[in-house]
Structure 1
């Protein structure tokens, strides 16, 4: 398992429709393991294969305090309701925005063994499923922001700012 570089917007792989995974073999299982490690390293709750430069229909999800899992060739079976939420993306690290997402979804696909699965998602899992499946279709959350006033620049985390301030102070002495 290894952490792969996360592809950043405006790289064109993020805008392509990903290809169907024809067979779940060792290379797909390695991809899944690497994606889970990459997602954890980036402190994300989901990651799509195009975000690591692989244009295949594979996503991984890792909800807080739950074991991460993969869905290969995911498809929506059902979407219910609508809500507006704040969203960000590891591939668009400097921006956040308010987007409309479903209240709940049901997604079908294959697990890492190639067996059929169905996943019901509400709240964060629902949001992550929609966000990651969007990636497989070449859609980014910034495409779902209704107007520029619903997009915002993310602030650096406090620890990074403190580190920067310490470096500036050391350089001035």
Structure 2
């Protein structure tokens, strides 16, 4: 296990869709261990593999003391009810913007034994699931922003990074 450095906006790995995990081997086990160790810090809610430079479909979460991971996650359900709130990202450090997300989300994937996994939740967990699946699809949360908020975010990114 190792605490891994976080890739920041501008790194092409963050804009590239991640590859499916087809074989669960020692490399994947090490990836999961690194994801869990790296997300297990105050103020961190989720971490996608590409944020630590690995283009594989896996992410970890750390929500309200619940630490976990999922391999090959797919967002399979979201509610029509929305939540609004500020969202941030380890790959866009210290910048937070109002971002609308579904109030409820469900992700399906597998664990390290290849067994099916369903992760679902409301509020912060739903936001995390949607945010991390976006990462694995090569999308940063700032690309969801619109209007004046998007213009301000792009200006902030240009001047900060």
Partner of 2:138: 138
Instruction: Give aligned pairs, total.
Output: 152
Partner of 2:159: none
**Which runs of 5 or more structure 1 residues have no equivalent in the other structure?**
154-173
Give SS of 1:95's match. Answer: strand
Q: Distance in 1 between matches of 2:77 and 2:41?
A: 31
Q: Distance in 2 between matches of 1:89 and 1:144?
A: 13
Whether 1:95 and 2:120 are equivalent positions in the alignment is: no
**Equivalence map 1:3-152=2 (5 Å):** 3-41=3-41, 43-66=43-66, 68-81=67-80, 82-149=82-149
Q: TM-score, normalised by structure 1?
A: 0.82
Give SS of 1:62's match. Answer: strand
**Which runs of 5 or more structure 2 residues have no equivalent in the other structure?**
157-161
Q: TM-score, normalised by structure 2?
A: 0.88
Please list the CA deviations of residues 102-160 of structure 1 after superposition, one character each: whole Å capped at 9, or x if unmatched.
0101111001322111112111110000000000011101111122336566xxxxxxx
Contact preservation (8 Å) 2:47, 2:61: yes
